[in-house]
Amino acid sequence: MERKCYGKINLSLDSLYKRDDGYHEIDTIMTRISLFDKLKIEKNNTNEIKIKTNSQILSKENIENNLIYKAWAILKDRVKSCGVDVFLEKNIPIAAGLAGGSTNCAEMILALNELWNLNLCDDEIFKIGKSLGADIPFFFLKKSARAQGIGEILSPFDINLDMKILLVNDGTSISSNFVYKRLKDYGNIETEKIIEGLKSSDKNIVKYFSNVMEDVVYENFPHLYKIKNRLENLGAAKALLSGSGASIFAVFFEEEKINYALNEIKNDYKFVERVNLIDD
């Protein structure tokens, strides 16, 4: 069995306040992009999970910290024979604000539900996903969505604006915990206005795209701010940090401009790729 695990970008991200449980109350717009990892899963007769990957970074980590393993661990007692071989082809940059680990986990849950004939209902799938990570339930929707709460309260909607996206990652790795610990309260992004603009194909709405995490990230990683500025100077209507970084995406409307920008920077950073929004 093979699953595609699509990454995401945040078209806006606001932090409203820090909750009593230590989490931040957020308000964000997420949409999936055409960049994906591949997850290959086959049964084995060992009652254990064996994970292999092309990623040198992930292959050195403790397997029990991997969200793919955690998805398997939470479901394995529901079947008599739970052994699986997993190969993860990693294409999404790691610790990059693109939710690579979360999308891998979501597709692992869906894959095991199918492979083991668990017949889990949508509510149960969402509950399992949420228990493993706040942004995991988003990937079950297969739709663009506004995410509130800690990211688990989802309101799907259609994006009707044709945006051309250039995605850049220079290899900088940023822990979301690092950013959240330094994050202030904001609550000043006009999320509802952005959603209405995306629905109504209003090109001017991209000016309102905003991510409050940029304050923390650019203060601690100023070289990333230079990438953002460079993309806008190359003709992007907007360049923005995705999630807690370090990936930056640039929005274009003209084919000529995005192709020019791509040619200008394609050899300058570790990862430069043109991607599409797949849920519009």
Which residues are annotated as catalytic?
A: 8, 135
Pairing of strands 84-89, 49-53: parallel
Q: Is-contact 261 168, C-beta < 8 A?
A: no
* Residue pointed to by tokens 């409307």: 253
Closest of 101, 72, 99, 70 to residue 88, by C-alpha: 101
Q: Is-contact 97 174, C-beta < 8 A?
A: yes
Structure tokens at 209: 């795209």
In angstroms, how far is CA 128 from the centroid of its own chain?
18
Pairing of strands 145-149, 164-169: unpaired
In angstroms, how far is CA 21 from the centroid of its own chain?
23
* Residue pointed to by tokens 């793919």: 68
Q: From its phi and psi, is residue 117 left (phi > 0), alpha (psi between -120 and 50) or beta?
A: left
Closest of 74, 100, 71 to residue 86, by C-alpha: 71
First to last CA, the chain: 27
